[in-house]
Chains A and B, each alone.
Chain A
Amino acid sequence: MEKMSRVTTALGGSALTGRTMHCHLDAPANAISVCRDAAQVVVAGRSIFKIYAIEDEQFVEKLNLRVGRKPSLNLSCADVVWHQMDENLLATAATNGVVVTWNLGRPSRNKQDQLFTEHKRTVNKVCFHPTEAHVLLSGSQDGFMKCFDLRRKDSVSTFSGQSESVRDVQFSIRDYFTFASTFENGNVQLWDIRRPDRCERMFTAHNGPVFCCDWHPEDRGWLATGGRDKMVKVWDMTTHRAKEVHCVQTIASVARVKWRPECRHHLATCSMMVDHNIYVWDVRRPFVPAAMFEEHRDVTTGIAWRHPHDPSFLLSGSKDSTLCQHLFRDASQPVERANPEGLCYGLFGDLAFAAKESLVSTESGRKPYAGDRRHPIFFKRKLDPAEPFVGLASSALSVFEMEPGSGSMSWFVDTAERYALAGRPLAELCDHNAKVARELGRNQVAQTWTMLRVIYSSPGLASAASLNHSVGKGSSCGLPLMNSFNLKDMAPGLGSETRLDRSKGDTRSDTVLLDSSTTLITNEDNEETEGSDVPADYLLGDVEGEEDELYLLDPEHAHPEEPEYVLPQEAFPLRHEIVDTPPGPEHLQDKADSPHVSGSEADAASLAPVDSSFSLISVSHALYDTRLPPDFFSALVCDMLRFYAEQGDVQMAVSVLIVLGERVRKDIDEQTQEHWYTSYIDLLQRFCLWNVSNQVVKLSTSRAISCLNQASTTLHVNCSHCKRPMSSRGWVCDRCHRCASMCAVCHHVVKGLFVWCQGCSHGGHLQHIMKWLEGSSHCPAGCGHLCEYS
């Protein structure tokens, strides 16, 4: 409302109304100019010269000034200007160097008034004096500016810029006699119209051509210039030397610049190449345009504010043959769309956060809006010309760091460095890793390692460990010794049990039982403890009737231990397999008799059958050792690994994968494994854990991973004596027939790290040299040099 009333007064009773609109022209426009009544606009171009009335809803063509049958070059306009005092007076600059004035008051169709053919080349710009009715100024490609008095037939005075083509001339609005001109070579000149001999002042404003300039409508000292260097500069001309007060960097060369009425710091620009948009800048915020008009599809050639006291209507003509009226409130505002915040999660759990200062600081003063959560704290602000400028926007940058003690990724680094993945028995690896995890306070992981150890480590060791747990739960047979997880114990357990049944009252059975359950059940063991053969025979050769007993027995013993555990059932099918093996019946008779009746004799006699059953036993052990647990647990373990991977702890997945090796590998598809490996290696490399990463690469069984370290590494060796490349024949040089790079201490060829003294160039294996230097500081080669190693 306020704006409207102000506009109304400025216009003497008629408010400006309108909307964003455009109309199609017949030809590309080169320039536009507005009549002082703000109701008409003239469009001029190479083949167009028309006047349009600006109505509320549309542009209406009022007059076509291109009349006559044959097109004249005089009508090919580079620029047009409408006199701001006389509604009937127009001037055009033609590409052939002619300056034409037009009088709309002429009754004939042809409104052409005067013709000045004084410039030799294209006239780039014409400009009426803001207060003088008859004074016209022109600037031309030929380097001259001419001042015309429209009451005379030729120019009043000629100004020579002495510096290439003139791109723009503009009368100062406040200084009656002053005008500014801009030049192709980057200069700006200030002239007094009474003194054509030399310019008042000259300075270099831009790199490359200065295409345009505009005097500030209110501030008498300010001149804005725009150049091919994509800059708009605002100069304070009141001081002795022209002082650059503002500099706006645009994204393309600046073809036109126009101060926005009623907005002291705003100016509009358009470009002559690449960029079709019109920008309005606040010179105090020189990096981001305050508003942007994106209607044109080709280069915008002319811009004009519709009324010298109204900031909301902008007119523009373009090479795309359209004439547009832009309403400021319809402009897009890059400032509003620009992202005011930056956020990045760091490797160590630290957060970098940059935010617009107003967002961060005003918040602290504002009371929390706990009640009304829907309150829109952010709404699109209209750029109101009256709005006081809040100052340059700036951002606060801060990094939120984890305190050293709670560094969120330190567990990863520690774990990676301390885990043992290979080189020791499985149980030790698991124990070690569990310990590491526990020390780092990762109890679940530690527990997992312990469980893995119990599941997978060999039965003897496991039962020895489980002995501790199950002391006091003893029952008559070996089964109580078994840990509930530990299926492998089933084999010796059952074996000893059957033995127990078979040789009742035999004192030996107790000791054997202990032996078999505490020592590893391997082939060697079986050989050593003769007794274990016997039950094995029995186990195989026992009649069908007793089998059922066994079946019944086992669950009974197993269940009290771990009722919810389903292991025993799983175990039995395996039994069937063994029992059903073909060799059974034949040997049955022999064995049933042999151990029973005659001890050692039968042993000797039935050597062959015992052996065969023996192999069977070992097969059954083998089955127990490798097949049963994976069959039963692998699904669980795989699920566990997947769980860890999905929880983001790929470290655990890969570590377990490596430690367990073949035990689980085949149950997880190759692609998943590869994914885990690559992810983990990537993580390790992020933390610069190169050694661990290499170890993982080396230990991985996935072909795609293990070849990572073999790619693009070539070792070229030159002979240390003749400096020629060594052939592939080894470490003896072909040419000088000497061994290359001998160790001065051990006199062998050094094939790995070679360390040498830069003084005497003797050296050798790193360890050898280090050891040598502990005892002597002289060169080991005997050259007498006091070697220095840094």
Chain B
Amino acid sequence: MFVARHIAADHKDLIHDVSFDFHGRRMATCSSDQSVKVWDKSESGDWHCTASWKTHSGSVWRVTWAHPEFGQVLASCSFDRTAAVWEEIVGESNDKLRGQSHWVKRTTLVDSRTSVTDVKFAPKHMGLMLATCSADGIVRIYEAPDVMNLSQWSLQHEISCKLSCSCISWNPSSSRAHSPMIAVGSDDSSPNAMAKVQIFEYNENTRKYTKAETLMTVTDPVHDIAFAPNLGRSFHILAIATKDVRIFTLKPVRKELTSSGGPTKFEIHIVAQFDNHNSQVWRVSWNITGTVLASSGDDGCVRLWKANYMDNWKCTGILKGNGSPVNGNSQQGNSNPSLGSNIPNLQNSLNGSSSGRKHS
């Protein structure tokens, strides 16, 4: 059962992104009001704003946390064509007394000539790396060669996507069998029906990112994209927020079968496609084990999706933005309309697939 805890965010314009840190105890929000706020969870479970500062001179589209191994580090990207890296300063100051922490800008990445629409830290095993994408269709990958020095970032790769980029996602898999991979979505709304999702893979031999796949079936503007956490799967799962929610699986075709040296080939299957939001889907987010997908759309609802043991994806819960229960999901005849009875099912099915049979 979910309990809605409303937070007076006090942002002066739209909030565009929310992000939990590695341990789930801190949260960062960013807004068009050009500020980023950091929220810390108290013992009682309340969220307190411990920092709020102006980060950019334009809308801040995204905010993301680095792995805590690198310190308390945030990256933000903005309409003002920059991305920035921020670090929390530990030390005695007056701020501490007021329960406020101090964040300083470590670097500004100014390579883009247009709005930077997404920023994501690479999985930890790749080191301290950062990817940005911008409206001019270029994905840039930066690396901090010295993890102790957050002000030095070198531009390692520039990948041209030909389309205005809106979102990126690293493949989080830590397996050596999976080379670094990044998926890029485009919100290009021009009428030509071009594929809006491209997947690039790092090639060890050429030391470059090359296009591995293009999801030809996704031709509508894509607003968000997310690889599921890969905890030991041999294949990858990719969720896409476009005019509906889509879930793809990408199974690497065995290397031996393909010509060595070239990019990995994937067997791509669409395993789910839901238009229950009845509108634009803006965000998709995976739970920590990569088993439940949450999506939010213009209907103001969050919907939860989970696969049963047959790999059939079903809606397992609907959350209303203001916390009220949602009725009238008539197309979901078999699913329980109220929250209370849905979530326990979710809980059960998380524990093991056998219980999944019960409500399949």
Contact = CB atoms under 8 A, between A and B. Distances in A.
B253 interface: no
B232 A675 contact: yes
Given A288-B13, A363-B321, A400 B302 contact: yes
Contacts of A359: 298-300, 321
B174 A392 contact: no
Interface stretch (A17-25, A301-309, A312-320, A648-656): A648-656
Contact of B14 (A356, A402, A408, A685): A356
B347 A406 contact: yes
B99 interface: no
Contacts of B294: 343, 345, 351
A396 interface: yes
Interface in B269-302: 275, 278-280, 282-292, 294-302
A646 B286 CA distance: 15
A676 interface: yes
Contacts of B350: 408, 411, 648
A345 B317 CA distance: 14
Q: Main secondary structure on chain B at its contact with chain A?
A: loop
Contact of A287 (B17, B33, B278, B288): B33
Given A344-B19, A359-B298, A398 B283 contact: no
Interface stretch (A102-110, A371-379, A449-457): A371-379
Contact of A347 (B5, B23, B279): B23
A406 B17 contact: no
A354 B29 contact: yes
A645 interface: yes
A320 to B, nearest CB: 14
Given A395-B31, A442-B351, A345 B17 contact: no
Interface in B194-250: 223-224, 229-234
A688 B224 CA distance: 29
A647 B1 CA distance: 22
A648 B2 contact: no
Contacts of B232: 645-646, 650, 653, 672, 675-676, 679-680
Contacts of A162: none
Interface stretch (B54-62, B153-161, B256-264): B54-62
B24 A354 contact: no
B352 A445 contact: yes
Interface stretch (B86-94, B101-109, B126-134, B326-334): B326-334
Interface stretch (A207-215, A333-341, A458-466, A691-699): A333-341
Contacts of A445: 351-352
Interface string B103-131: 00000000000010000000011000000
A131 interface: no
Nearest to B69: A685
A507 B323 CA distance: 78
B96 interface: no
Interface string B169-185: 00001111100000000
A403 B18 contact: no
B3 interface: yes
Nearest to A407: B347
Contact of A251 (B79, B230, B234): B79
A396 B19 contact: no
A649 B354 CA distance: 13
B12 interface: yes
B296 A368 contact: no
Interface residues of B, number: 99
Given A339-B223, A399-B5, A408-B347, A394 B12 contact: yes
A441 B350 CA distance: 12
A650 B125 CA distance: 18
B11 interface: yes
Interface residues of A, number: 90
Nearest to B301: A363
A686 interface: yes
B43 to A, nearest CB: 13
A235 to B, nearest CB: 21
A354 B9 contact: yes
B22 interface: yes
Contacts of A352: 18-20, 27
B314 interface: no
A661 to B, nearest CB: 18
Interface in A448-505: none
A725 interface: no
A581 B187 CA distance: 72
B321 A343 contact: no
B36 interface: no
B14 to A, nearest CB: 5
Interface in A657-689: 671-672, 674-676, 678-680, 682-683, 685-688
A377 B6 CA distance: 26
Interface in A359-383: 359-364, 368-370, 373-378
Given A342-B29, A354-B29, A403 B2 contact: yes
A444 B320 contact: no
B7 A395 contact: no
Contacts of A686: 22-24, 288
A353 B289 CA distance: 19
A400 B319 contact: yes
A286 to B, nearest CB: 8
A342 B59 CA distance: 14
B313 interface: no
B6 A342 contact: no
Contact of A402 (B1, B11, B280, B321): B1
B84 interface: no
A650 B24 contact: no
Contact of B279 (A334, A338, A376, A411): A376
B174 A682 contact: yes
Contacts of B320: 360, 363-364
Interface string A623-643: 000000000000000000010
Contacts of B80: 251
B324 interface: yes
B186 to A, nearest CB: 12
Contacts of B191: none
Contacts of B355: 443-444
A343 B302 contact: yes
A722 B24 CA distance: 46
Contact of B353 (A344, A348, A444): A444
B76 interface: no
A348 B288 CA distance: 8
B6 to A, nearest CB: 5
A686 B69 CA distance: 11
B150 interface: no
Contact of B175 (A342, A409, A675, A683): A675
Residue of A349, A373, A375 with most partner-chain B CB within 10 A? A349
Interface string B346-360: 110011111100000
A395 B347 contact: no
A204 to B, nearest CB: 20
Contact of A443 (B6, B7, B352): B352
A543 interface: no
B142 interface: no
Contacts of A347: 20, 23-24, 288
A249 interface: yes
Given A251-B79, A287-B13, A363-B301, 13 more contacts: A341-B283, A343-B284, A345-B286, A347-B288, A360-B300, A360-B321, A364-B324, A370-B328, A375-B278, A395-B13, A646-B234, A671-B177, A679-B230
5 contacts: A394-B14, A401-B45, A442-B352, A674-B175, A675-B173
Interface of B: 1-9, 11-20, 22-24, 27, 29-34, 45, 47, 57-59, 61, 79-81, 115, 124-125, 173-177, 187, 223-224, 229-234, 275, 278-280, 282-292, 294-302, 319-324, 327-328, 330-331, 343-344, 346-347, 350-355
Q: Nearest 9 A-B pairs (CB), nearest first? A: A347-B24, A368-B328, A360-B321, A645-B232, A648-B289, A675-B175, A395-B15, A343-B283, A444-B352
